[in-house]
Amino acid sequence: MFTHTPVDHIDFNGCRVFVKRDDLLHKDFSGNKARKFAYFLHNDFPGVSRLVGYGSPVANSLHSMSALAILKGWQLDFYTDHIAAQVLVSSKGNYAAAIENGANVIDLSLVADRDGRSCKEYIEQVVLPNDATALYVPEGGRCLYARDGVHQLAKEIVSWFETRQLNELTVFLPSGTGTTAVFLNEYFVLNKDSIKVTTCACVGDEDYLKQQFSELISDTSFHPKIVSTDKKYHFGKLYKAFYDIWRKVGEQGIEFELLYDPKGWMCVEQYLLDNPDTEILYIHQGGLLGNATMLPRYQRKYAAV
């Protein structure tokens, strides 16, 4: 269940780029978070009745955790620093879909016993000690549990690679916490060294991403290659260059998301200029629900251009 997505290809600047369609994993439980949370789906957790997490109220992980909670028959308690007014009233996007799934999203700025704690501290100091039925997932699924589902993704890529009889392959995906990229590359280093992972940092800079890799796997020989753009881009901000490349790629018939994929495709563009003869498999990590809130912002900002 929730595995074996197809591989398509698109024409990008005259080059063929393969696309692993993890956006098609499942209607409600798809993409990157579904891979990272697969361990929770496929294992039993006796005594657990509550899933606890935290992060942005517009994050893909909120929606994916709400879908996981439904599949497991759990309640989801999701802690967040603040919920913006326009997020609260919107009927679209990750927050609205999670609420529809029955998620309990807690705005910590309204909680009386917060005492200046971060979401993580609040969960660790206040929530978990009082609740033996809670299962806690760190922000964005950045944990060793994610290895299981990501290695499954790696196995699918290896079997596709062998069927296509390719000699070498670069697997490209944009990173947030880097969890997906580092566990993917770990699998290939151990099992298939003709496949290599290249990624870029979307949240924070390259040093931050390396640090994130190291927290999960200290041996740097397992770490993926990181490429970067000339210009710095801040996560969650709108850039005309992002909107342009998003539309260009979208014209090839596959819709990508607007937070990570624009920078991802900009890096692929540069990578193909530097390495014109490489075969690239881009991982579509889902997240399309977020476009319902991101796209109107882009359309308003760049309506005239």
Ligand X SMILES: *Cc1c(COP(=O)(O)O)cnc(C)c1O
Q: Does 170 bind ligand X (CB under 6 A)?
A: no
Q: Which is nearer to ligand X, 167 or 220 (CB)?
A: 220
33 lies in the binding site for ligand X (CB under 6 A): yes
Q: Which is nearer to ligand X, 85 or 96 (CB)?
A: 96
Residue whose C-beta lies closest to ligand X: 287
**Radius of gyration of the chain, Cα coordinates, nearest whole angstrom:** 19
The count of other CB atoms within 10 Å of the CB of residue 172 is 26
- CB of residue 165 vs ligand X: minimum separation in angstroms? 29
> Of 8-16, 44-52, 185-193, 285-293, which segment contacts ligand X by CB under 6 A?
285-293
Q: Which residues pair with 162 in a beta bridge?
A: none
Footprint on residues 116-155 left by ligand X (CB under 6 A): 140
Q: How far apart are CA 198 and CA 298, in angstroms?
A: 28
Which of 115, 112, 37, 122 lies closest to 79, judged by CA? 122
- Binding to ligand X by CB under 6 A, coded x per residue (else -) over 224-263, reads ---------------------------------x--x---
**List of residues 6+ apart from 255 with CB closer than 8 A:** 288, 291
- Write out the binding residues for ligand X, residues 52-71 only, by CB under 6 A: 60
Which of the ranges 13-21, 66-74, 77-85, 178-186 carries the binding residues for ligand X, by CB under 6 A?
Answer: 178-186
Backbone CA torsion sign across 28, 151, 173, 281? negative
E strand map for the chain: 7-12, 15-21, 50-54, 75-80, 104-107, 134-136, 169-175, 195-201, 225-226, 280-284
Give the footprint of ligand X on this chain (CB under 6 A). Answer: 31-33, 60, 140, 174-181, 257, 260, 285-287
